[in-house]
Amino acid sequence: PNSTVADTPSLATKILSRHLDSPRHEPDHFDYRSVVGKMNHLEKSTRPDIAEAVHQCARYCSDPRKEHTEAMKRLGRYLRGTATKGIIMRPGDLQSFECWVDASHAGEWQNEVKTCEPDSATARSRMGYTFMFANCPILWASKMQTEIALSTTEAEYMALSMAMRELIPLMRLFEEAKQRGLDVDVNKAVVKCKVFEDNEGAAEIA
């Protein structure tokens, strides 16, 4: 109750890794895996702002360390300070889909300092997307890509591909709902891929 609030869900300057040299999480403090599950439920329901932070913590459920405990506690302090915040829905007149996609090419790559051996778990690129319908967010995610991208263009294109594989079935669902008599106006999806300025190749490939 007396803990100070945090301005952000995670530290932008500190990326979680395995931290094998750090003390293990103390189970008597709190159930790490259970708290991660609760955070996942909250993130998927109403809090897209904590998606990346929750996923970072969730990756190390099998062997959490002190740094993971501190990251989870910071996330809790952030939620405490933003308990009155939420998503304000303002439906627009144009009922169409928008897909916002971005990727960070190997943005979490780290080397073990003492052994100088690469941590292969950090070689994958992180991607995120948000689906909007009628100007309202309906689905979002922050996750690691399943394949290792060799360039930023490849990471961006893979992110766009993965996002569209989620969006197209959702569009088909809306179309079926309309055929069954529900008042749903589905227009052609508007897809926007946010890429770095030196990666026009991703848009050209798409």
pTM of the predicted structure, to 2 decimals? 0.79
Mean pLDDT for the stretch of residues 65-88:
91
Instruction: Please state, rounded to an integer, the average pLDDT across all residues of the chain.
Output: 82
Asked whether the beta carbons of 17 and 122 are under 8 A apart, the reply is: yes
Q: 3-class SS at 150?
A: coil
Of 107, 77, 79, residue with least CA distance to 13? 107
Would you place residue 82 in the very low, low, confident or very high pLDDT band (cuts 50, 70, 90)?
A: very high
Q: What is the pLDDT of residue 194?
A: 42
48 neighbors 8 (Cβ within 8 angstroms): no
How much of the chain exceeds pLDDT 90, in percent? Answer: 34
Could you tell me which residues are beta bridge partners of residue 70? Answer: none
Reduce the secondary structure of 53-112 to three states and give it as a string: HHHHHHCCCCCCEHHHHHHHHHHHHHHHHCCCCCCCCCCCCCCCEEEEEEEECCCCCCEC
Top pLDDT among 121 and 105 is at 105
pLDDT tens, residue by residue, 54-63: 999 999 999 9
What integer pLDDT is reported at residue 119 of this predicted model? Answer: 60
Q: Is the pLDDT score of 2 beyond 60?
A: no
**pLDDT, tens only, 165-203:** 998 888 888 888 878 877 766 555 555 544 434 456 777
**79: pLDDT confidence band, cut at 50, 70 and 90?**
very high
Q: What pLDDT score does 88 carry?
A: 84
How far is residue 176's CA from residue 34's CA, in Å, rounded to a whole number? 37
Mean pLDDT of 56-75: 93
Residue 193: per-residue pLDDT: 47
